[in-house]
């Protein structure tokens, strides 16, 4: 499984998908271990208008673990075959491990008008 995470330069999940500096692409084995990590520089900007969903889909990404993300970006990612888990925060490696072990669930909260994020993962 390949999981994308919008991150800051310190590997923390960025609290706004469209403003992240990088995407970390984690390859997770069936044994729930991180086998590989790639870094993709972000173009930064509105996630629903960028081509990032297509790029990630071509890389084999099927899940996006995000902090704050708008419904437009969610729709674009979903249309590219990428499931979005909202409301994540903290160290990207730790969150990916938690997700792989079934400990992360979608918060159900989307960004409204690119403001007013809810932080913290739903466990």
27-47 per-position pLDDT tens digit: 999 999 999 999 999 876 555
Q: What separation in angstroms does the CA of 88 have from each of 4, 21, 49, 58, 119?
A: 12, 16, 22, 24, 7
Asked if 33 contacts 57 with a C-beta cutoff of 8 angstroms, the reply is no
Which positions ≥6 away from 120 have C-beta within 8 Å? 87, 89, 107
The predicted pLDDT at position 6 comes to 95
Overall average pLDDT of the 100-111 stretch: 85
Block residue for tokens 């984690």:
26
Neighbours of 37 (CB within 10 A): 15
pLDDT at residue 105 is higher than 90: no
Specify the pTM: 0.85
Specify whether domain 2-100 bears CATH 3.30.420.130: yes
User: What are the φ/ψ torsions at residue 58 (nearest 5 degrees)?
Assistant: -65, -30
- Per DSSP, helices labelled H in the chain are 52-58, 71-79, 92-100
Structure-block tokens of residue 96: 């990916």
């Amino acid at each position: 499984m390949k999981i994308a995470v919008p991150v800051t330069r310190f590997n923390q999940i960025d609290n706004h998908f469209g403003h992240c500096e990088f995407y970390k692409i984690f390859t997770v084995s069936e044994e729930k271990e991180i086998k590989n990590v790639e870094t993709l520089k972000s173009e930064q900007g509105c996630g629903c208008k960028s081509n990032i969903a297509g790029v990630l889909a071509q890389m084999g990404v099927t899940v996006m673990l995000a902090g704050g993300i708008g419904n437009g970006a969610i729709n674009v990612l979903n249309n590219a075959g990428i499931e979005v888990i909202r409301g994540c925060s903290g160290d990207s490696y730790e969150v990916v491990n938690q997700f792989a072990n079934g400990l992360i669930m979608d918060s159900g909260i989307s960004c409204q008008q690119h403001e007013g994020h809810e932080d913290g993962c739903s466990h």
